[in-house]
Structure 1
Amino acid sequence: MTFESDVKPTPTDRHHPLLKMALELGPMLVFFFANLRGPWLIEKVPALAELGGPLFVATALFMAATVISLVVSKIMLGHLPIMPFVSGIVVVIFGSLSIWLQNETFIKMKPTIVNTLFGAVLLGGLLFGRSLLGYVFNAAFQLDEEGWRKLTLRWGIFFLFLAVLNEVVWRNFSDDVWVAFKVWGTMPITILFTLAQMPLIMRHSTTPAGESGAGKDGETR
């Protein structure tokens, strides 16, 4: 089984950017619209009523869409992105528990578990002197040791922030608000955070001499 960094631009990824985006966002969109139109889906396909209410129907379709996405990624792109793969495993486990026990808590806590796991791994690596984020992002850009350490620390804290934020939303708002936040809130927040890291990346870039950004003396500016 081949795994690839989530940001490593393989030749296939470069030729199929829209497919890659669809595979990553598709399951979440299925989850959102299935929850939104849950009663309609149950009316059209009565067998879905066996799963429970709209959120359980959406969870089952989310699980199916996630598995399909990973299979298509392996077939079409030739690899499995690490983070969606780990997230997919948690989706299947917690989604199955939610439907089996008819308890929405399991699927609602899935983002908390995944983000806490990623955050703990990154911050734990720093405690042992390892900037693990460098293994994921090194194909996209090169930073000095201090840059990787700072970036790993920021991403580790950010993942924990997302975990806490998910807990706040699902425990204090309706199911519809939580689902909408999961799809339309988490992604923009992550994009904004990523863009906010560009000054740090530029300051600690170790682009080789002769490439863009190098001065006449051969040093990166």
Structure 2
Amino acid sequence: MKALLDFIPLIAFFIAARQSGILAAAGALLVATLVVYAIHFVRQKGKFDKQQWVVLLLTIVFCGGTLLLRDDIYLRWKSPIINGVFALTLFVSALINKPLMQLAMKEVFSLTMNGWKKLTIAWGLFFVLMGALHYITAFTMSNEAWINFKTYGWIPIMLVFIVAQFAVLKNHLNPALSDKPAKK
């Protein structure tokens, strides 16, 4: 449910951009994000995880800047910076021997510390790639190409990365997963 809710701001952005332009899209993205995050806040009993805080605060800053200054340059920087923050956080966590992917996926995979570091670095590199692609589409391509990539162009890249990750790690699935009874 959470993942589906997180697509609502992208859909609002896409529709507003097509119908009314980038400034309207920034407003739609901001309002939709605030509504979705209010729902998350209630569903999560008054708490956000760190990733949610980063996305929410940067959305407010970049969409707000775009609307206040009537310049889409701020909105164009949002996705490259968010991806950069995620990449940097993952790299630092691996460097200090506290790989964040271990926290996120320890229930799914059984890896050594070296394996967790490699997985965390792989995700960091993925976010570097996504940040670079968002930058390229935002600053070197047409508005239409940027809007399309920002809305749905990144999804196939993410799906290929996740499928490849599971293909590589299938032999490291946590044995406890098969011991759990199925939920009804």
TM-score by length of 1: 0.74
Distance 1:210 1:125, change over 3 A: closer
Which residue of the partner structure matches residue 147 of structure 1? 115
Distance 2:110 2:66 in 1: 42
Q: Alignment partner for residue 35 of structure 2, among 50, 68, 74?
A: 68
Counterpart of 2:11 in structure 1 is: 29
Return the alpha-carbon distance in structure 2 between the equivalents of residues 162 and 147 of structure 1.
Answer: 23
Is 1:188 the counterpart of 2:156 in the alignment?
A: yes
CA radius of gyration, larger in: 1
3-state SS in 1 of match to 2:61: helix
Matched, 1:115 2:97: no
Q: Among all aligned residue pairs of Structure 1 and Structure 2, give the percentage whose two residues are the same amino acid.
A: 23
Residue identity opposite 1:74 in structure 2: F
> What is the RMSD of the two structures over their aligned residues, measured on CA atoms?
2.1
Mapped to 2, the partners of 1:127 and 1:99 lie a distance apart of 38
- CA deviation profile, 1:72-116 (whole Å, cap 9, x unmatched): 122235453543432121011011111112221111110110000
SS of 2:53's equivalent in the other structure is helix
* 2:88 is the alignment partner of 1:106: no
Give, in whole Å, the separation in 1 of the partners of 2:85 and 2:78: 11
Equivalent residue letter for 1:33? I
Alpha-carbon distance in 2 for matches of 1:181, 1:24: 16
TM-score normalised to the size of structure 2? Answer: 0.87
Q: Please state which structure has a larger fraction of its residues in helix.
A: 2
Q: Which sections of structure 2, spanning at least 5 residues, go unmatched? A: none
C-alpha change, 1:184 and 1:208, in structure 2 (3 Å) is closer
Q: 1:164 to 1:59 in 2, by over 3 A?
A: same
Measure the CA separation in 2 of the matches of 1:209 and 1:55: 45
Tell me: CA distance 1:100–1:145, structure 2 relative to 1, closer, same or farther (3 Å).
same
